[in-house]
Amino acid sequence: MLTKRIIPCLDIDMGRVVKGVSFVDLYDAGDPAELADYYNRAGADELVFLDITASSGNREIILDVVKSVSETVFIPLTVGGGVRSLEDIRRLLHAGADKVSINTSAVQNPNLIKECSKFFGSQCIVVAIDARSVKNNSNNQNQISPKFSAVSLDEHSKWEVFTHGGRNPTGIDAVKWSKFMSDLGAGELLVTSMDQDGHQSGYDIQQLFEISTSVQIPVIASGGAGEYQHLYDALKNGLADAVLAASIFHNKTHSIFAAKKYLSDLGIPVRPLEYLEDGE
């Protein structure tokens, strides 16, 4: 049986780890290399690094951060932010990343997902989806490009895809987009609820369930973890394959060891606890 993964997320802005609420009000949360080393020792299954302002700020990918981290940690590392081409992906993988997360560029050029999954293998390609609840479909539908008509918002849409670190609405339906990205060759989806992000009140379980049941590839839940029960809900009821969290681990109010014990006690398969050190 495949084990469920716990993945700390390090949102990067100008070389520092930051955290916020619903993608705004960012505050400094530490040094990327130091936090990565801590999570590596604490039993994290993977790490995700997202340069959350690379696309909106038109910056290059964070190769220096990737190199420094990959030299000290020995768990899979996913990196995203500012990825625009096959060459960007090659450079990140060469710098030590195991997977590359793509969000804005997937909307700007969906064929990039098809091309890079064929060239590097779908196991390397994670499509990140930042989605917010739909408030007014009639306005948003006018923003959609004709080439995205098949995945555009309609009267049944519940969540809209956003790009550029949650700044730009797209008029794209998140569930349709998930299926489209899967069909193009994405190996995994990183689904972040913008409504829940940073509030620590739980993941958007309905959103996770609808996306998870629409695709045949792993789905990572993101946005809203505040306690161990939230992790369980996302894995059990949202059918996620992994849970990504930031605030509860950065603040050290909760530990990965305790999270895994909690999930294991409730019957969720996780990496064997005997490999972890209590108290990390």
Give the E-state strand segments of the chain in sequence order: 5-13, 16-21, 24-30, 47-51, 77-80, 99-102, 125-133, 159-163, 168-173, 188-193, 219-222, 242-245
- DSSP 8-state secondary structure symbol assigned to residue 4: P
How far is the C-alpha of 48 from the C-alpha of 79, rounded, in Å? Answer: 6
CA angle 6/246/50 to nearest 5° reads 95
| Domain count of the fold of the chain | 1
Q: What is the pLDDT of residue 199?
A: 86
Whole-prediction pTM: 0.89
pLDDT over 70 (residue 23): no
Q: Are strands 168-173 and 159-163 parallel, antiparallel or unpaired?
A: antiparallel
State yes or no: pLDDT of 82 exceeds 60. Answer: yes
pLDDT category at 201 given cuts 50, 70, 90 is very high
pLDDT in the model for residue 214: 98
Per-residue confidence (pLDDT) for residue 138, from 0 to 100: 45
- Angle between the N-to-C axes of helices 205-212 and 174-184, in degrees from 0 to 180, rounded to the nearest 10: 40
For residue 280, the model assigns a pLDDT of 47
Residue 29 has a pLDDT of 61
Check residue 15 and give left, alpha or beta (phi > 0: left; psi -120 to 50: alpha): left
What rounded mean pLDDT belongs to the chain? Answer: 87
Residue 43 lies in a domain: yes
Provide DSSP, 81-128: SS--SHHHHHHHHHHT-SEEEESHHHHH-THHHHHHHHHH-GGGEEEE
Domain assignment present for residue 135? The answer is yes
280 belongs to a structural domain: no
* Residue 128 resides in a domain: yes
Nearest to 234 by CA among 277, 203, 272, 191: 203
* 8 A C-beta contact, residue 212 and residue 219: yes
Copy the structure tokens of residue 62.
């964070």
All residues at 6 or more sequence positions from 154 whose CB lies less than 8 Å from its CB, including other chains = 137, 141, 173
Find the mean pLDDT for residues 216-240: 97
Q: What tens digit of pLDDT does each residue of 42-76 get?
A: 999 999 988 866 554 445 677 888 888 888 888 99
Please spell the DSSP secondary structure of 60-84, one letter per residue: PP-HHHHHHHHTT--S-EEEESS--
Whether residue 129 is contained in a domain is answered as yes
Residue 132 maps to a domain: yes
Predicted pLDDT of residue 55: 52
| pLDDT, mean of residues 89-114 | 95
Mean pLDDT of 234-261: 92
Band the pLDDT of 130: cuts 50, 70, 90.
very high
DSSP 201: S
Residues with catalytic roles: 11, 130
Mean pLDDT lowest among 52-56, 171-175, 219-223, 241-245: 52-56
Which residues span the domain enclosing 63?
5-275
Q: Is-contact 83 101, C-beta < 8 A?
A: yes
- What CATH number does residue 64 fall under? 3.20.20.70
pLDDT at 239 over 80: yes
Lowest mean pLDDT among 20-29, 79-88, 129-138: 20-29
Q: Give the single-character DSSP code of 25.
A: E
Place of tokens 């990965």: 256
Going from the C-alpha of 246 to that of each of 4, 39, 161, 237, the distances in angstroms are 17, 11, 21, 21
